[in-house]
Amino acid sequence: MADRPITYREALSSALREEMRRDERVFIMGEEVGVWGGTYAVTRGFLEEFGAKRVRDTPISEMAIVGAAVGAAMYGVRPIAELMTINFAFVAMDAIVNSMAKVRYMFNGQYTVPMVIRTTTGGGKQLGATHSHAPEPIFAHFPGYYVAVPGTAYDAKGMLKASIRDDNPVMFVEHSTMLQRRSEVPDDEDFVLPIGKGDIKREGSDVTIVTYQKGLEYSLIAADELAKDGIEAEIVDLRWLRPLDIDIVIESFKKTNRCVVVEESLPMYNVGAEIAAQIQLHAFDYMDAPVQRVAAMDIPLPYAGKIEAMALPSPEKIIAAVKEVV
């Protein structure tokens, strides 16, 4: 079927609606997902189409939402639990790390937990330090579930559908500032993308930029500017933090011999550190310069808009890092 340009938000909504129509075991639960239509309007109209049994408004308790979803998944249905933002996932850490991630292992495979946690991440909206985290690497630290970080509408739809269909739990992390971004998306109810596979978003020969989500947007802008100076950047979009597709990174690095990792997370113990370690382990002999990292500043994000922007990654920071390694 033909592709059509839709927004990131529309891609998420389309994926959810198609999977709910496809499988009656799929249902949605979370704060304001029903009557209000979701914090970011992704589930608008779902209550009217699917009814209150399959679109469930919940109390304001992330621990209860995730805990109930784990129990429901063990029972045999396929819940999609929406957390308003990833900042509130910290409240549900025990249910995520000690229940969702461990049930299949603790019960020797007698139970599966086919559930998805949908949540949003990132700064840039002047929501203050406690509502502007980008802690995806924290969640990717724990084995037992997948962590998805789509950076385009195309990826968002294909990855969400794959997540809903999989028998393993998935932490599906969206970016709140990217909901209106458009890209071509197949108009196909069976369009899914493989779990754990990255993607080359731009071909290049001089430097590999490894990134995901909001970092992808910044990196594409930076790459166009770098090309004006004769520097061709290859952009590797990880798409998943767990499983991590390190093969696509190493393959690109062996071609370019230089790497910059871009992410919105804080600089300590982040994805960039893992990528740098993997490159030196698997491709040390190809390394012509140290791996550079572009991340948020190591501070709680400020509220003031211009100062907040200074603390976050930007195309200008990426350009500077690339020019340092080349």
The rounded distance, in Å, linking the Cα atoms of 195 and 155 is 11
Domain match, 127 and 32 both: yes
Closest CA to 234 of 257, 211, 203: 203
| Residue range 95-116: mean pLDDT, rounded | 96
Strand order in the sheet with 170-175: 55-57, 26-30, 78-82, 116-121, 170-175, 146-148, 240-242
Residue 2 pLDDT grade (very low, low, confident, very high; cuts 50, 70, 90): low
Domain match, 296 and 167 both: no
pLDDT, tens digit, 9 for 90 and up, residues 5-20:
999 999 999 999 999 9
Q: Which pLDDT belongs to residue 162?
A: 98
Domain match, 168 and 206 both: no
pLDDT, tens digit, 9 for 90 and up, residues 201-234:
999 999 999 999 999 999 999 999 999 999 999 9
Q: 47 in a domain, yes or no? A: yes
Residue 138 pLDDT grade (very low, low, confident, very high; cuts 50, 70, 90): very high
CATH number reported for the structural domain that contains residue 261 in this entry: 3.40.50.920
pLDDT above 80 (res 1): no
- Catalytic residue, chosen from 131, 251, 274, 282, is 131
Phi and psi for 321 in degrees, rounded to 5?
-65, -40
| Residue range 251-257: mean pLDDT, rounded | 98
Domain match, 238 and 160 both: no
Give 27-87 as a 3 state SS string: EEEECCCCCCCCCCCCCCCHHHHHCCCCEEECCCCHHHHHHHHHHHHHHCCEEEEECCCHH
Domain match, 158 and 211 both: no
The yes-or-no answer on residue 225 being catalytic is no
pLDDT, tens digit, 9 for 90 and up, residues 63-72:
999 999 999 9
- Catalytic residue, chosen from 10, 62, 234, 264, is 62
- Give just the sign of the alpha carbon dihedral 226, 228, 232, 235: positive
Residue 279 pLDDT grade (very low, low, confident, very high; cuts 50, 70, 90): very high
Domain boundary among 142, 162, 186: 186
Q: Which pLDDT belongs to residue 102?
A: 97
Q: What percent of the chain has pLDDT over 70?
A: 99
| Residue range 289-318: mean pLDDT, rounded | 96
- Domain with 268, as residue range(s), is 199-325
At which residue do the structure tokens 């029972």 appear? 75
Q: Which pLDDT belongs to residue 166?
A: 98
pLDDT, tens digit, 9 for 90 and up, residues 169-199:
999 999 999 999 999 999 899 999 999 999 9
The yes-or-no answer on residue 62 being catalytic is yes
pTM score: 0.96
- In one-letter notation, the amino acid at residue 179 is L
Structure tokens at 231: 């520097």
Q: What angle do CA 162, 248, 223 make, to 5 degrees?
A: 100
Domain match, 279 and 317 both: yes
Across the chain, what does the average pLDDT equal?
Answer: 96
Q: Which pLDDT belongs to residue 4?
A: 87
Residue 3 pLDDT grade (very low, low, confident, very high; cuts 50, 70, 90): confident
